[in-house]
Structures are given as structure tokens and as C-alpha cells.
Chain A
Amino acid sequence: MAVAYRPVQWNRNKLVYDAVLLVGITAYLFLFLRFAPGWLDIRPIGGPELRMRAFGSCAYIMLHLILIIGPLVRLDRRFLPMVYNRRHFGVALFFVALTHAWYVTGWYQAFSPVDKYAAVLVGNTNVASFIGFPFEYLGIAALLILFVMAATSHDFWLNFLGAPVWKAIHMAVYVAYGLLVMHVVLGPLHSEAGLVYPLMVGAGLALVVGLHLAAAVKERRGDRANPSGAANPREGDDTPWILAARISEMEVDRGVAVLLPDGERAAVFCHGERGEKISALSNACKHQNGPLSEGRVIDGCVTCPWHGYQYRPEDGCSPPPFTEKVPTYRLRREGDLVLLDPRALSPGTWTDPIVLEAAK
């Protein structure tokens, strides 16, 4: 969406996001390393060991926060701004996790007869055992996934790989989460006699899974409540029209998601100066497949809720000088009903909007 190339297009919101992130991580580590040891009534824990625990637990909590942002947004759109700069959150997570790994390797493998990085891999190869499983492998695998995600987080890779591939790569965060949970369960929890750590890990898992389930249930209910479905065909018209929306229920400058027979979604928007037009385009933003139906019409363009990419409702083209295009759909009006032809038109194809005569 940029006219001139800039590696990171900073703006006030991104700076605030990153500042909050930095302050949060610093406060966490400061509290863990400087204050908490003084409140412990046990023998002092050595510096390197304390640091590996501080960075490890910080990374673990950060991953939970990253994972709950998605479902929170599905449950309440006001959380959307937290998606805006989530990539920086992920990159920060990778560096915190890397620092943890660096301290762990330096502490536990420093006196190994082989190189300390090789020692992590060959020190324990008891993969057939569950209890004695080399949990370090799980942490290494998770760190590699986080590295790939951080390294490909830039828009260059998004453009190079395309949104579907890029998104598939970044869905591996769930694999990383599973690996990290097992890394913690088979590692630190293994030697835990107290209940604090197991309860914390259990609560984190329940939070992530619970929020994802709640979001999925809400989305499923939304699909069921959606009026989309096969419409009565007109004589001589073999178009597989589906019911997309009721005009009386549409809000001006806002969209409605329509589930299509092939599982994709279209976004039907009411737009125009007085909300007198209705158009339909793909629900997937060209940038990161953000849900356009949850966006708004701003300055005459459908605006993606995730990063503000814009498309004209009638032809799915970004306004000049931008060049992104999304598919559009043909619409037909029947009384209060909006019918949609579920066969997507080529990206950027002009479609006549439904024009409402008595628009206010």
C-alpha cells in the first residue's frame, strides 16, 4: 500500500504500541530480577539461573498474550487495534525467547565435553521416554518456528509469499505454543513439588483454548443467524443466487459477511453519501486476508479493520496510486432482500451497485 518504499512505516499508533510493549517487558524483567528475589524466603537463586527463568517465563506469558488477541477481537471488535502491530509483539517474543535459550545453554552446557550448542542436542537423546524426554528439543523447535515467523514478519515476505502462504506459515504459532507447553511440562514442571507452576500453566492453557472456543462458537452462531442461503431462482435465470442480506437491517458504511457455498465469505456493504448503494466484494483483504466485512467505508472506500487497506466497493480496486485488487460479486435486489451471485468476478471487476431510490 506504500507509494515509496520504507522498511517500516512508523506512525503514532505503532510507536505507542511498541513503547507499551517495551515498557511492559522491561517492567516484568526488572520486577522478576531485582525485586522478587528479595521477597523470597529461600536461598538466593544464582544470577544466570534467575535470568533464564525471568526471560523464559516472560516469553511464555508473551506468547499467551499474542494468542489471546485473535479470539478477543472475534469476541469484541474494540480489541482490533491490538492486532495492528502484533507482528512487533511476535518479533519481541522471539528475542526474549532467544535470550532465555542463550542463558540456558550457557548455564547448563558450559562445562560439557563437547561444544555447548552441540551438547544441547546430544546431551540427552532419550526420545523414547516420555518422562525423560529431552524437553530441550521441544524448546528448540518452538524457537525455530518463532524465528521463521519473526524473520518473515515483514511486509516484503508477505508480498513475496502471498497472503495465503504467509498466513499458513504464521499459523505455526499454534504448533510453537503446543511445543512450548510440553517444553514447560516436561522441563521445569517435572521438578516442581509445589502447585503454583502447574496451576499457572493450566490456567494459561485453559485461557487460550477457552477464548478460541468461545470465538469459534460466536462465529458459528453468526453464520447460522446470517440469512445467506439459496434463493428462489427466476424463470430463465440459472444464476445460483443466494440470500445475502436484508436491506432494512444494513447499516450505512458498514458491511455484512456472507458465507458462500464454497466456504469463502463475501462482504456486502451499504455505501454512498446517503447510504444509497449496496455492493459486494471479497471478504479477504489482499494484505493479510483481514475480514473486510468488519471494516467501514471511509472516504468512499471499504477500509480493512486490521491495517486500513482500502478498496472501492464497486470494483474492489484500491484508490490510486495503490494497486491492490480484490474480487467482486454481482448483486440483485428483490424487495428488502439482497441476493448475491456466489461466483466471484476477477479482482478489480466493476459491478453495478444496487441503488436504493429512497435512501436517506
Chain B
Amino acid sequence: MSERETSKSAFFVGYLATPRPLAWFLAVVTVVMAGRGIGAGLAFALGQQDHGNGRFAFDRGYQSLSGVIQAKPYPV
């Protein structure tokens, strides 16, 4: 029995003050997670493609197209 340990590691209870070592760990984790989240956001933001200017190309004259027009869900 005397050899049994009393746990000294930090334990978080929400309504009590956060133990200092755990607070540091959480600060680092928060920064890392926020960094990765914002990094992922940047990748999403900068990975956006150019989807054209949306103008009709009237200046190209008549053009021939071949293919199948889908009536549903809308004519494409």
C-alpha cells in the first residue's frame, strides 16, 4: 500500500481554476488548432477558381456546339 502513488498530474474541473501546467498545454493546443483551422481556411480561400466573367460572348459570332441538352432539373 505504501508503494501506491498519489496522482500529482493536473486535473481540470470547470468551475475551479485551471491548473497552471494544463493551462499552458491548453494555450498551446488552442494556438495550434486555431492556426490549423485558419490555415485550412486560407487554403480554401486561395484555392478558389476563376469562374469566368459571366458575360455572353456576343462578339464571337455564331458557334457550333454538339452534345446533349438536359431538360431536367433545368436546361443545360
The residue of chain B having its C-beta at the shortest distance from the C-beta of A45 within the complex is B48
Bound together, the chains give a CA A58 to CA B48 distance in angstroms of 15
Q: Judge whether A307 and B73 touch: CB under 8 Å.
A: no
Number of interface residues of B (CB under 8 A): 43
Contact, CB under 8 Å: A39 / B14: no
Q: Does B69 contact A (CB under 8 A)?
A: no
In whole angstroms, how far apart are the Cα atoms of A123 and B45 in the complex?
A: 28
Distance from B72 Cβ to chain A, minimum over Cβ atoms (Å) = 6
A328 to B: closest C-beta gap in Å: 22
Asked, given contacts A126-B72, A126-B73, A253-B7, whether A36 binds B45 with beta carbons under 8 Å apart, the answer is yes
Instruction: Tell which of B10, B29, B45, B53 touches A43, judged by Cβ atoms closer than 8 Å.
Output: B53
Closest to B29 in A: A79
Q: Does A208 interact with chain B (Cβ within 8 Å)?
A: no
On whether the beta carbons of B6 and A27 are closer than 8 Å, the reply is no
Within 8 A of B (CB), among A151-204: 191-194, 196-197, 200, 204
Residues on A with C-beta less than 8 A from B53 are: 43
> Quick one: which of B5, B29, B46 contacts A252, CB cutoff 8 A?
B5
A31 touches B45 (CB 8 A): yes
B44 touching A200 by the CB < 8 A rule? yes
A308 and B37 contact, CB distance less than 8 A: no
Closest CB in chain B relative to A27 CB, distance in Å? 6
Interface residues of B in 16-57 (CB under 8 A from A): 16-18, 22, 25-26, 29-30, 33-34, 37-38, 40-53
Partner-contacting stretch, out of A97-105, A212-220, A231-239, A243-251? A243-251
Is there contact, CB below 8 Å, between A36 and B46?
yes
- Complex contact A24–B34 (CB within 8 A): yes
Knowing A196-B47, A197-B44 touch, does A251 contact B5 (C-beta < 8 A)?
Answer: yes
Query: Do B2 and A57 touch across chains, with their CB atoms under 8 A apart?
Result: no
Q: State the Cβ distance, A43 to closest chain B Cβ, in Å.
A: 6
Check A308 against B13 for contact (C-beta < 8 Å): yes
- Residues on the B chain within 8 Å of A62, using CB: 37
Instruction: Determine if A265 is an interface residue (Cβ-Cβ < 8 Å).
Output: no
Nearest neighbor of A43 in chain B, beta-carbon distance:
B50
Q: How many residues of A contact B (CB 8 A)?
A: 68
Q: Is A225 an interface residue (CB 8 A)?
A: no
Partner of B49, one of A9, A80, A194, A253: A194
CB-contact partner of A298 in B13, B45, B47, B51, under 8 A:
B13
B4 on the interface (CB 8 Å rule)?
yes
Q: Could you tell me the distance in whole angstroms from the C-beta of B33 to the nearest C-beta in chain A?
A: 6
Of B3, B4, B29, most A-chain CB atoms within 10 Å: B4
Given contacts A42-B48, A308-B14, A308-B15, contact A251 B38 (CB under 8 A): no
User: Given A79-B29, A252-B7, does the pair A28, B38 have CB atoms closer than 8 Å?
Assistant: yes
Q: What is the chain A residue whose CB lies nearest that of B30?
A: A20
CA distance A24 to B37 in the complex (A): 9
Give the complex CA separation of A298 and B25 in angstroms: 22
* A68, chain B: closest CB distance, angstroms: 9
Is A251 a contact partner of B22 (Cβ separation < 8 A)?
no
Q: Is B1 an interface residue (CB 8 A)?
A: yes
A324 CB, min distance to chain B CBs, angstroms: 15
Tell me the bound Cα distance from A36 to B48 in angstroms. 10
Cα distance A298–B12 in the bound complex, in angstroms: 11
> In the complex, are the beta carbons of B14 and A247 less than 8 A apart?
no
* Contact of B12 with A305 in the complex, beta carbons under 8 Å: yes
Which B residues are CB-close (under 8 A) to A78?
10, 22, 25-26
Q: What are some 15 contacts across the A-B interface (CB < 8 A)?
A: A28-B38, A42-B49, A61-B40, A78-B10, A78-B22, A80-B12, A81-B22, A132-B70, A191-B51, A194-B47, A196-B43, A249-B4, A252-B4, A356-B1, A358-B1
Additional A-B contacts beyond A53-B44, A252-B5 (11; CB < 8 A): A11-B14, A13-B14, A28-B38, A32-B45, A42-B48, A42-B50, A79-B29, A191-B51, A204-B40, A249-B4, A298-B11
